[in-house]
Amino acid sequence: MRVTPAGLYCEPAGVYIDPSRAVDRAIVSHGHSDHARPGHRAVLATAETLAIMRARMGADRAGGSQQAMPFGQTLDINGVGIRLVPAGHVLGSAQVVLDWQGSRIVVSGDYKRARDPTCAGFEPVACDVFVTEATFALPVFRHPPAVGEIARLLTSVRLFPERCHVVGVYALGKAQRLIAMLREAGWDRPIYLHGGLIPLCELYESLGIPLGDLRPLPARQKRGAAAAGLAGEIILAPPSADATLWARRLADPVSCAASGWMRVRQRAKMRGIELPLIISDHADWDELLATAAEVAAPEVWITHGREDALAHALGQRGIRARALHLVGRDEEDEAAEAPIAVP
Ligand SMILES: [Zn+2]
Ligand SMILES: [Zn+2]
């Protein structure tokens, strides 16, 4: 396995993992755009990831040939045993397990250890080299239980029935996880969606993840009508949409955001977030270290994020760590909003 300009390349199998540009053969860990690029000649991924790729980039750009591989099945390519294992990040997200001549590399992609009702949970696989992300690899990042954050949102909704709550969420993964957790917490009212979130919510539903009563935001209503209609309701929107015109039509919105970065108060303040919710789809500091210990790999490669802090902490635990400095990551999901300075 080596690092090339296009990303991680498994030489004996002739296959790239999450390459940053179009290649002949790619294994794609999950559907976020910094891992799933268009135009590969052949793509191997879970059926869910392939469906997400087709929905986002169009069937013709999602890979010349697409091979769906279920979790747990092993494929042999030139003597390399290849297997996908759940990563717990978003629907379809997988770790790639590669066995070759008695040694094993696990490329985890993005992952989290916290429970997520919209995808299969992370499964640790013992290996010789563990390839990990490091988005939240600083001791300051400890994500509280997400159920508590959902409870805070619902408490605020009850306290301010005359206002609506607009939650900034990423379109793939975070939106659906938030909806599913609201349903588990007993919120059975309609949830209103900004148009940018609707296609992937529909896709999740078609892939067997029930999300309940979802409605598009009423379009172009008069101010009074919209305000009357959505007071007391929960609205989800992409994080970038909260300053746009439509938000100003809403009933005195409480601006919320669901992201691991909401741990940094300053950052929430900078974005004008009144109710920051610390809900992340990436492993926090404790999860990163616990996972490295669990897979018991003597060597860890770090793809992107806070590589130095994690490498240092692993080194102290007797694990050889290597920062790969992969290019083209962090373009979507929480990783994309890395703050300039973290206390
Ligand atoms: Zn991701
Ligand atoms: Zn990523």
pLDDT tens digits, one per residue of 127-152: 999 999 999 999 999 999 999 999 99
User: Domains in the chain, start-ordered, CATH in brackets?
Assistant: 2-140+281-337 (3.60.15.10), 146-277 (3.40.50)
Q: Looking at the CA of 89, which ligand is closest?
A: 1
Q: Looking at the CA of 93, which ligand is closest?
A: 1
Of the CA atoms within 13 Å of residue 343, those in its CB half-sphere come to 6
pLDDT at 29 over 60: yes
pLDDT range class, residue 221, cuts 50, 70, 90: low
Q: Looking at the CA of 111, which ligand is closest?
A: 1
Q: Looking at the CA of 135, which ligand is closest?
A: 2
Of the two residues 270 and 17, the one the predictor is more confident about is 17
What's the pLDDT at 42? 98
For residue 32, report the distance from its CA to the centre of ligand 1, in Å: 5
Percent of the chain with pLDDT over 70: 91
Q: What is the pTM of this model?
A: 0.93
What's the pLDDT at 226? 47
Token pair listed for 325: 């400095």
Whole-angstrom distance, CA of residue 313 vs CA of residue 308: 9
Whole-angstrom distance, CA of residue 190 vs CA of residue 175: 14
For residue 95, report the distance from its CA to the centre of ligand 2, in Å: 13
What's the pLDDT at 229? 64
Whole-angstrom distance, CA of residue 284 vs CA of residue 134: 9
pLDDT range class, residue 227, cuts 50, 70, 90: very low
Of the two residues 132 and 329, the one the predictor is more confident about is 132
For residue 32, report the distance from its CA to the centre of ligand 2, in Å: 7
For residue 251, report the distance from its CA to the centre of ligand 2, in Å: 35
pLDDT range class, residue 329, cuts 50, 70, 90: confident
For residue 90, report the distance from its CA to the centre of ligand 1, in Å: 7
Model confidence over 144-177: pLDDT tens digits?
Answer: 999 999 999 999 999 999 999 999 999 999 999 9
pLDDT at 245 over 90: no
For residue 89, report the distance from its CA to the centre of ligand 1, in Å: 7
The residue-averaged pLDDT of 268-287 equals 94
* Three-state secondary-structure class, residue 184: helix
pLDDT range class, residue 338, cuts 50, 70, 90: very low
pLDDT at 343 over 50: no
pLDDT at 178 over 50: yes
For residue 291, report the distance from its CA to the centre of ligand 2, in Å: 17
For residue 226, report the distance from its CA to the centre of ligand 2, in Å: 36
Show Cβ contacts of residue 88 under 8 Å, excluding neighbours closer than 6 positions. 111, 112, 113, 114, 116, 119, 120, 121, 122
Whole-angstrom distance, CA of residue 93 vs CA of residue 114: 14
For residue 93, report the distance from its CA to the centre of ligand 1, in Å: 8
